Structure 1
Amino acid sequence: MTPEQNISKVNSPIASLPPELFAKFCAYLPPADLFTLSQVCRKFHGYLCAPNSFSTQQIWKESRLKFMPKEEMPPPKGMSEKNYVELLMMDRGCQTCKQIKICKIYWEFEVRICEECFLVKTVNEYKLLWSNYPQEFLNTMPHTYYFYGKYYWIEQIHIAYSQYYSLSKEDLKTWLDSKKLIFDSTMEYATKRGMKHDTKRPSRFSRHN
């Protein structure tokens, strides 16, 4: 029997709560419990996973501030509070291989990943330049440093380069300017996160968590 069938069968009072009272109930729950609750039934999933709902954002924000008091920084521009909280939950392990192991949050790529998966999912700058990727293109792409080299997220490179390559000369400057604005915002946020946590995490791989 599924969780949804269970809650329907017992006619739990919480299942009939209006959105306003449901939000108040959620104010007492840590993020892990909110994730569990979001999987109970479609109704709860709708309340907790609506990306454009102000109420949904507030539920996750209040839970983060209450139960993750050290994570007072707002999420990166364009990231929902739910996705932000999920990214911060280090005990969930690597988002790529799903293994519970030591991970790092790469804010440049908005991903929580282990070292093994990082090396699979990224490519260093030298390989990209050797493959004739233009420097003006790479200058607009978020990157991180690993053993003093620049590393880029492969999927981001492929998607962005397909756009870059298809543009006319007239449209290219506008595209590059737009990408540079996003790049600056992303890297500024990653730097702030690094400054916040570098003093707490001396190991190389755990920086910028």
Structure 2
Amino acid sequence: MSIFVDKQRLLTSSDTLSGGVNLFRNTDKLDKFWSAFASGWGQAEESAKFASTVNHELIATKSVFHTANDSAMHATICCSQQIYLETGVYTVSFVARNNGTNPPGFSLELFSDYTDKHGGAPLGSTRTNLTNIWQRYSITFRITEAGTYGNWRILHNADTPVAGGSLYYANLKLERGSIATDWCPNYADYYDDLQNQINELKKQIPGR
């Protein structure tokens, strides 16, 4: 059985057992929880802006996160959301590109409060290097200590030059399991959108 909202799949019964549920909030608009980290710079931009870039059809979200710095370790996208994770295997996936003309670039690594508590090594890294063409990437990792973790950071943790000075991310997703599935919003994001629509309709009703 599947549940659809606005012609988009929200969940199936198998998703809750084998992954597919996006644990990250606000990955469609990227205007809450998502930011640059520390001394870096970043902002959400409309995905339509990238309609002329190669493989832009991979972008499923309304917004793309643009982060910029001369050094890869400071060109970081960060999610401040606190997420409770049980022990087990998880996967972060996204589409990304740099702004350079001389690929290949570098791999991307995943950090969080969890890595801060466990020696600082990354949870994992992408298998292929970032290029100037939109491509899918994923990082699979294991949580050995259940807890609530935040400050999810994607970066290349070295003082390596950033090709073109900018990195771009979309379709960000955290899910249980070792398989990266297609992007979908977090359930709560659907609820928030529906509630906002209801509130707008109430404003249009006379006497309210």
**TM-score surpassing 0.5?**
no
**TM-score normalised by structure 1 residue count:** 0.25
The structure whose RCO (Cα within 8 Å, separation 6+) is larger is 2
Normalized per residue, which structure has more helix? 1
Normalized per residue, which structure has more strand? 2
